């Protein structure tokens, strides 16, 4: 079940040439600002530990990271506001970095003055619209420039208010002066009650900005849960970028040493890169694979760092601290890298995708489930397929019956026809994992592998159901046979024997006084007795034909066929019986069924057909096969189910056999199979 989503064609935009020129202009200005920042920071001669806390380096890198991606999106998709928001985001940070760089250069030269103060003051506050407006709106509108719903407009208004309030409060808040230590004194500093009020506004605006960003992230998470296909993949890309950036940002909150600051710089570039890939080339990469590898290498990095520190501590406790302990720890970590990565990869694969990369193990789990409680094997096997591959839902449809837990997940990702020995026995439908639009080739390969034992389980379940139905039919048939025998004895033979007894008593009473009347009663009694004897024979014949008591089945069939020499309309009818010469004795129930079906089929041919000949063939291979074929013609494609056909079909079904009766091009045909499992050779 494959589905390919058509590519989205960007809608035409008025003044597209002017917009492209604007995109190039924003990129040029931003890169120029970053260049100024880099040149002035290098010229300042300040060490890294001094530069990094000033945010001049991070702001320059932020601008350098977002500017190209914003320009690419704006040039490729000028109708999307997201590209322009990224470009504006980069511009804010670029100008901020340039201003901070110029201020730092003057500070390092030993000439901090009003100019450096003003530059630092502007640089420390001009970046704020990137956080108050550009970032939350980009997240909120991603990926199609539409709000999730109309009520999210309140968040847009809140972002606009934050953009006006927070930069002013940030710039005028006296608390910010000590942070930007290279600023001698901002142009405007408010103290006293006014300063306290500004401080409160700044604090409230800070909280408001944080809540706005969190709300935008919440909207993206909600949108992804409700989306499907292309949009879900795009949102997955951006959420992945945000997650990686947060993981890399976190250590800098407590430590700004070189390793952590480097991680921060790496994290900055991940977010715009993920957004650009999502908007322009999301099909180029497999987001599931990216997430998988991210989990693996984050866990691997944490494991190796933890292992390194543990080994250093252990070796230092024995040998003392020094270069030796570091070398030993490095050797241990290098040796463990490959095995640990392989172990983590397998664990992450199992966590995310189940056993799709180990289909033999998945097959074993399905096979093991078939050893569960009797009567629930198939349900357990379906659950094992679902759980072994971490699929949200797997259902098997068999003869209108649905097997598996239906969680109402909508349309399936695909289905597989279950076949046993080439014959379809059902179909398995499966749903993609949460966050996936479809399954991978590895998933399909694993599903095809586990489909084989599942098909066998369906077949076995069907055989069990057939056996249970056959047993129920046999029990019902026995009960009906006993009920019929009871009626025959109670309603037929019983009254006849009662009449015989009464008339015999009456004759005994009259034998002295009226011999003639007694003689007549004795004659009547004899007639009643003969009728009763005939009824006994009829009942016994219904239980088992007399011919089968005296001769074997082939001879009994020949005798029965010999009775039919003419049709009901008087035309001659030739009958032939073809039975193996060395045929063994069969189970009495099988012989009776074969005899009764043959007799009924011959009767139908004599009564209803235009046949001139009828052939009865009996053979034995894996089952007992009985075919009664005539050369009559029929204008209909099938025969109506009358009493005779119903009786024959029922006799075959009672033994677990099959029955088919229909006209063919050559004539009428009755085909019956009876189970050989009941057959026993005579001693």
Say if 671 falls within a structural domain: yes
pLDDT of residue 184: 45
Whether residue 612 has pLDDT greater than 80: yes
Say if 94 falls within a structural domain: yes
pLDDT of residue 6: 34
**Minimum mean pLDDT range among 298-312, 381-395, 525-539:** 298-312
Whether residue 283 has pLDDT greater than 50: no
The whole model's pTM is what? 0.44
pLDDT of residue 628: 92
**Minimum mean pLDDT range among 318-322, 423-427, 597-601:** 318-322
At 264, the pLDDT band (50, 70, 90 cuts) reads: low
pLDDT of residue 477: 67
Domain shared by 516 and 560, yes or no: no
Say if 673 falls within a structural domain: yes
Residue closest to 386 by CA, chosen among 410, 404, 399, 371: 404
If phi over 0 gives left and psi between -120 and 50 gives alpha, with beta otherwise, what is residue 15? left
Question: Nearest 10 degrees: CA dihedral of 388, 390, 393, 397?
Answer: -30
Contact by Cβ (8 Å): 82, 74: no
526, 543, 560 - which closes a domain: 543
Euclidean distance between CA atoms 320 and 339, whole angstroms: 28
496, 518, 543 - which closes a domain: 543
**Minimum mean pLDDT range among 56-65, 317-326, 375-384:** 317-326
Say if 42 falls within a structural domain: yes
Q: What share of the chain is helix, strand, coil (3-state, %, to 5)?
A: 65, 10, 25
* DSSP letters for 285-349: S-HHHHHHHHHHHHHHHHHHHHHHHHHHHHHHHHH-SSHHHHHHHHHHHHHHHHHHHHHHHHHHH
pLDDT in tens, 206-253: 788 878 888 877 877 777 776 666 666 666 766 766 776 666 565 555
**173 CB contacts (<8 Å, ≥6 apart)?**
195, 198, 199, 202
Whether residue 5 has pLDDT greater than 80: no
Per the DSSP assignment, residues forming a β-bridge with 310 are none
pLDDT in tens, 120-133: 778 877 888 888 88
> In a 10 Å sphere around its CB, with 0-12 CB exposed, 13-18 middle and 19+ buried, how is residue 130 labelled?
buried
pLDDT of residue 4: 34
Q: What is the CATH number of the domain that holds 526?
A: 1.20.5.1930
| Across 662-668, average pLDDT | 85
pLDDT of residue 285: 40
516, 543, 570 - which closes a domain: 543
pLDDT of residue 254: 47
pLDDT in tens, 59-90: 888 888 788 778 877 877 787 788 888 889 88
**Minimum mean pLDDT range among 44-53, 247-256, 403-412, 652-661:** 247-256
At 664, the pLDDT band (50, 70, 90 cuts) reads: confident
Domain shared by 200 and 152, yes or no: yes
Domain count, the chain: 3
| Across 16-32, average pLDDT | 85
Residue range(s) defining the domain that contains residue 41? 16-225
Q: What is the CATH number of the domain that holds 565?
A: 3.30.565.10
SS3 619: strand
Q: Return the percentage of the chain with pLDDT > 70, whole number.
A: 67
Domain shared by 557 and 518, yes or no: no
**385 CB contacts (<8 Å, ≥6 apart)?**
362, 366, 391, 394, 428, 430, 447, 450, 454
Euclidean distance between CA atoms 66 and 74, whole angstroms: 12
Say if 450 falls within a structural domain: no
Euclidean distance between CA atoms 161 and 382, whole angstroms: 55
Domain shared by 37 and 186, yes or no: yes
* DSSP letters for 258-281: HHHHHHHHHHHHHHHHHHHHHHH-
At 671, the pLDDT band (50, 70, 90 cuts) reads: very high
SS3 577: strand
Whether residue 279 has pLDDT greater than 60: no
Q: Return the percentage of the chain with pLDDT > 90, whole number.
A: 5
Euclidean distance between CA atoms 52 and 47, whole angstroms: 9
Which has the higher per-residue pLDDT, 77 or 264? Answer: 77
SS3 451: helix
Say if 235 falls within a structural domain: no
Per the DSSP assignment, residues forming a β-bridge with 619 are 625
Say if 451 falls within a structural domain: no
pLDDT of residue 670: 92
**Minimum mean pLDDT range among 69-73, 375-379, 394-398, 532-536:** 375-379
Euclidean distance between CA atoms 430 and 45, whole angstroms: 63
**Minimum mean pLDDT range among 325-329, 459-463, 650-654:** 325-329
Euclidean distance between CA atoms 632 and 666, whole angstroms: 8
SS3 386: helix
């Amino acid at each position: 079940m494959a589905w390919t989503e058509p590519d989205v064609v960007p809608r035409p935009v008025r003044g597209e040439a002017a917009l492209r020129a604007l995109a190039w202009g924003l990129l040029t200005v931003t890169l120029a600002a970053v260049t100024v920042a880099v040149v002035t920071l290098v010229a300042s001669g300040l060490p890294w530990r001094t530069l990094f806390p000033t945010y001049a380096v991070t702001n320059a890198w932020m601008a350098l990271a977002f500017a190209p991606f914003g320009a690419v999106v704006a040039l490729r998709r000028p109708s999307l506001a997201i590209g322009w928001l990224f470009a504006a985001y980069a511009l804010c940070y670029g100008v901020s970095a340039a201003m901070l760089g110029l201020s730092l250069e003057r500070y390092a030269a030993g000439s901090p003055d009003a100019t450096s103060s003003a530059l630092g003051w502007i640089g420390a506050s001009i970046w704020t619209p990137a956080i108050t407006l550009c970032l939350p709106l980009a997240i909120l509108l991603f990926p199609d420039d539409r709000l999730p719903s109309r009520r999210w407009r309140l968040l847009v208004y809140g972002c606009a208010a934050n953009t006006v309030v927070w930069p002013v409060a940030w710039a005028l808040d006296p608390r910010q002066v000590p942070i930007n230590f290279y600023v001698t004194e901002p142009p405007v500093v408010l103290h006293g009650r006014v300063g306290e009020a500004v401080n409160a506004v700044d604090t409230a605006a800070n909280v408001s900005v944080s809540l706005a960003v969190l709300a935008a992230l919440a909207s993206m998470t909600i949108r992804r849960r409700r989306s499907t296909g292309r949009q879900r993949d795009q949102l997955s890309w951006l959420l992945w970028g945000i997650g990686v950036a947060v993981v890399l940002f976190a250590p800098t909150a407590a430590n700004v040493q070189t390793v952590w600051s480097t991680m921060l710089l790496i994290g900055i570039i991940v977010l715009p890169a993920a957004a650009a890939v999502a908007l322009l080339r999301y099909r180029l990469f497999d987001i599931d694979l990216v997430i998988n590898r991210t989990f693996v290498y984050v866990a691997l990095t944490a494991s190796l760092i933890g292992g390194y520190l543990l080994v250093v501590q252990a070796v230092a406790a024995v040998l003392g601290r020094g270069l030796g302990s570091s070398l030993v720890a490095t050797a241990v970590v290098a040796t463990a890298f490959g095995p640990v990565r392989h172990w983590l990869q397998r664990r992450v694969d199992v966590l995310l995708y189940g056993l799709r990369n180990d289909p033999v193990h998945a097959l074993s789990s399905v096979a093991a489930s078939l050893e569960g409680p009797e009567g629930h094997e198939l349900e357990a096997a379906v659950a094992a397929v679902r759980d072994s591959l971490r699929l949200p839902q797997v259902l098997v449809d068999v003869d209108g019956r649905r097997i598996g837990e239906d969680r109402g997940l909508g349309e399936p990702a695909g289905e597989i026809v279950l076949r046993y020995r080439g014959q379809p026995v059902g179909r398995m439908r499966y749903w993609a994992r949460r966050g996936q639009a479809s399954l991978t080739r590895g998933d399909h390969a694993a599903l095809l592998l586990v489909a084989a034992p599942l098909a066998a389980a369906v077949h076995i379940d069907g055989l069990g159901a057939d056996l249970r139905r056959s047993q129920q039919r046999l029990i019902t048939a026995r009960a009906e046979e006993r009920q019929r025998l009871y009626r025959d004895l109670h309603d037929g033979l019983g009254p006849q024997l009662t009449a015989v007894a009464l008339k015999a008593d009456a004759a005994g009473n009259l034998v002295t006084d009226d011999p003639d009347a007694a003689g007549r009663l004795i004659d009547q009694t004899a007639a009643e007795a003969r009728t009763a004897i005939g009824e006994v024979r009829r009942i016994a014949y219904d239980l088992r034909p007399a011919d089968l008591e005296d001769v074997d089945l082939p001879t009994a069939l020949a005798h029965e066929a010999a009775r039919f020499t003419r049709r009901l309309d008087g035309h001659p009818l030739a009958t032939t019986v073809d039975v193996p010469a060395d045929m063994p004795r069969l189970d009495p129930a099988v012989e009776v069924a074969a005899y009764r079906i043959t007799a009924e089929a011959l009767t139908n041919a004599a009564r209803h057909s235009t046949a001139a000949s009828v052939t009865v063939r009996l053979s034995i291979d894996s089952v007992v096969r009985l075919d009664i074929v005539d050369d009559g013609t029929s204008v209909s494609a099938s025969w109506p189910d009358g009493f005779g056909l119903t009786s024959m079909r029922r006799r075959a079904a009672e033994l677990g056999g099959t029955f088919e009766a229909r006209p063919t091009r050559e004539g009428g045909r009755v085909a019956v199979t009876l189970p050989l499992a009941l057959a026993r050779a005579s001693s």
